A and B are shown apart, each in its own frame.
Chain A
């Protein structure tokens, strides 16, 4: 049992006798009767997404799932392929079910998969990931302020705001949740 004020992204819950992964969760309508959590739940079996608003303090059933590390292999149309590096077992997962979709999928990073009764139900990104910059404009001439930024593209294709000193070929550390630059890798 989890109290809804403790529910979090990526959690698996039993709702009306079906299993769902919480794929979106934010505060709603504060000041209207304490507070509510506006969520989007993805049905594990059908993939259907439903919006549900819970009252904070209500209870939902949390489901125990098997969690293990996986390595990303490749993406093919709408599916990403992963492998368990211990058992060498391979499986696929829909790209649109992964947070940030394919923006932070890289063969060198370790992801967390959750399984419930033979089905892979979620893929969670590492909090930080190191990626190489493949496209970067030169810093704007004369702009030496330490806090200015520019947009670069990293090897997975994601666009990022970074400080001006970052160059093509640099490795940078990115926070995958806030999609922000942390430091040079």
Chain B
């Protein structure tokens, strides 16, 4: 049965489908009130800051390859070099996926905002206030919702924990214990999360091993009743984020989890053009090594960063997943009028 058929005969379901529209309206009011500019991002891009595990979709115009943006990041940063200042963007972004799932669609609506003179701690504050303003817009005044039978409390301060603290708490490990591939592989095998003990580095990369440890020991144990910011990820996981000056192993990257779902990903942005270029070249090389398609190298972005951007923190938030939680929907299908 198509969504529109269900809706045509069950008009009482419409409020669920309208949650996303309401949170977009709340977003515009929120940033307008703070004097942010709205950037209109192109959907097609001539080059990408391609990360090793970010699969993109490409198309061709007049024999030239163009890319459907997987995020608006390059446009935000080029805009910052041009002097746009504090700004936000709401647009469709695209990912190459091997499958559609209840939490994954190849196209989704992304909100990104860039907070000048801010760090990732400032965007954590912004995120809390923004989501509460969305709840107000939806008529929720106590900032508590029920998602799939379980309460989530958005009021007050949300959890903020570093990857190092979470590893200590749930696995008795520190970020330095897992820095080496061989050590991490042994840890993951000992915990029983990797069955193929002979896996080589090309079959099971450091990132894969980290995700296995993280999904099974950390993500599975996050508080389901309160949103959680996780920050301070190992540097290889965030080539576009600024390193943490106090711990060279980690970067100033933050992810937001609500109801076990990853909702947002932000950084204190890396402003060192040389380091950015070095990190991105490594990502391109990794993709080539894995036999994955490589987008045209983003020289314009590197040039923009070299020309100088202000100190800034930025974040991307998946509005469909957030709407799904606020609408108490189990799957993205339940809030999408059109099927794919």
Contacts and interface: CB of A to CB of B under 8 A. Distances in A.
Interface residues of B, number: 37
Contacts of B103: 28
B9 A55 contact: no
Interface stretch (B16-24, B94-102, B117-125, B137-145): B94-102
A18 B18 CA distance: 46
Interface stretch (B61-69, B78-86, B202-210, B320-328): B202-210
Contacts of B55: 31
A149 B10 contact: yes
B198 to A, nearest CB: 10
Contacts of B211: 29, 32-33, 36, 53, 55
A52 to B, nearest CB: 6
A28 B95 contact: no
Interface in A135-150: 140, 143, 145, 147-150
B55 to A, nearest CB: 6
Given A31-B54, A34-B53, A149-B6, A26 B102 contact: yes
B185 to A, nearest CB: 12
A60 B8 contact: no
Contacts of A58: 194-196, 199, 204
Interface of A: 15-16, 26-36, 38, 51-55, 57-61, 140, 143, 145, 147-150, 161, 164, 180-181
28 contacts: A15-B195, A16-B192, A26-B102, A27-B101, A28-B101, A28-B103, A29-B211, A30-B98, A30-B99, A30-B101, A31-B97, A33-B53, A36-B212, A36-B215, A52-B216, A55-B204, A55-B208, A58-B194, A58-B196, A58-B199, A59-B196, A60-B195, A145-B8, A147-B4, A147-B5, A149-B10, A150-B9, A161-B9
